[in-house]
């Protein structure tokens, strides 16, 4: 899988190296504590898939320029801020096998650092009069917050239907990838039609990405280090589970809904529910929906002339649904 990521990066390898420097610059502060935390963020970064989307989409329609770098930094600032805030909300002390910021510096500092990163993303656009990018990131921040709150609201009653699930993952996950693709083409002065097209491409890709994430709950923990059934334990209603319950008999519905509601900490009952989701077609259904979203994204890409950037975006789509973590 590491080879696929390197292959995807090939047309933008120079830009990604320069981006690391520019991203660090975008976080700098005169407050020494903030600088210490931002240095830690840079050294514990992930694959940086989102900036890759920005650069590849920019190259799909033109060249990478200073506005592209600013757009990529704005997106990564938002993404990092949401991860910092998520770790506080989820009371998580590990992130990518490193201690999380709240584990090292406590919740108060983590929340303030997240707020600081969000403000820097907005300032980066206003200072450079990138008002088209500001519009995209403001909408994205709002939608991500709404998606999280919608999930929390529905989780209380466990009444998440398939349509509500799609809306939650569109806002929570897909909206940021959609913003990457929209920002990428806007940095090359794309018109409204092209910007909308690439936003849709990012949305479909993000939907496929999140469904793949949700499928991991039903696969071997040996592969990714995520315990099987962790979403059930946390009472998260994901697509395989929603479909399995929707198509079950009244008796099975009552039995397994009860497992989620009352016995979500019973390993034996959770294991039984995981097996039921697999045998009842819940996983197969989710895989089909994921591949449908992938195809919708590929259909949009097919409208563009062949190029290295297009090939990398096709590889990225393949990676999204075949990755092991």
> Per DSSP, what are the bridge partners of residue 98?
95
What is the CATH architecture of 2-322? Orthogonal Bundle (1.10)
CA–CA distances in Å: residue 194 to residues 138, 184, 308: 20, 11, 19
20-73 per-position pLDDT tens digit:
888 888 777 777 777 767 767 666 666 788 999 999 999 999 999 999 999 999
> 189-219 pLDDT, tens per residue?
889 999 999 999 999 999 999 999 899 878 7
Asked whether the whole model's pTM tops 0.75, one would answer yes
pLDDT at 92: 61
C-alpha to C-alpha distance for 187 and 189, rounded to whole angstroms: 6
Contact 23, 15 (CB under 8 A): no
User: pLDDT tens digit string along 275-300?
Assistant: 999 999 999 999 999 999 999 999 99
pLDDT at residue 225 in the model: 45
Among 238, 180, 169, residue whose Cα is nearest residue 208: 169
Distances 100 to 52, 85, 92, 183, 192 between C-alpha atoms, Å: 24, 10, 7, 29, 39
Residue extents of the structural domains in the chain: 2-322
């Amino acid at each position: 899988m590491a080879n696929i990521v390197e292959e995807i990066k090939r047309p933008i390898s120079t830009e990604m190296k320069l981006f690391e420097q520019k991203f660090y610059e975008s976080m700098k502060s005169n407050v020494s504590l903030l600088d210490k935390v931002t240095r830690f963020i840079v050294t514990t970064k992930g694959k940086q898939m989102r900036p890759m989307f920005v650069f590849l989409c920019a190259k799909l329609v033109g060249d990478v320029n200073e506005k592209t770098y600013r757009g990529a930094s704005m997106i990564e600032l938002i993404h990092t801020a949401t991860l910092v805030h998520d770790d506080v909300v989820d009371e998580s002390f590990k992130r990518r096998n490193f201690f999380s910021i709240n584990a090292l510096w406590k919740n108060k500092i983590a929340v303030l650092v997240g707020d600081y990163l969000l403000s820097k993303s907005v300032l980066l656009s206003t200072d450079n009069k990138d008002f088209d990018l500001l519009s995209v990131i403001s909408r994205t921040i709002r939608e991500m917050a709404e998606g999280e709150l919608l999930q929390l609201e529905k989780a209380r009653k466990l009444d998440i239907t398939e349509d509500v699930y799609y809306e939650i993952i569109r806002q929570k996950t897909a909206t940021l990838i959609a913003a990457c693709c929209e920002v990428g083409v806007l940095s090359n002065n794309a018109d409204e039609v092209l910007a909308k097209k690439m936003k849709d491409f990012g949305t479909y890709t993000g939907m496929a990405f999140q469904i793949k994430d949700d499928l991991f709950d039903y696969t071997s923990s040996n592969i990714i280090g995520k315990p099987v059934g962790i979403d059930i334990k946390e009472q998260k209603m994901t697509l395989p589970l929603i479909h399995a319950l929707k198509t079950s008999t009244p008796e099975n519905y009552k039995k397994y809904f009860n497992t989620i509601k009352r016995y979500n900490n019973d390993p034996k009952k959770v294991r039984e529910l995981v097996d039921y989701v697999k045998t009842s077609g819940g996983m197969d259904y989710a895989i089909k929906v994921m591949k449908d979203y992938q195809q919708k994204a590929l259909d949009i890409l097919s409208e563009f002339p062949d190029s290295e950037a297009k090939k990398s975006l096709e590889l990225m789509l393949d990676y999204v649904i075949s990755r092991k973590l």
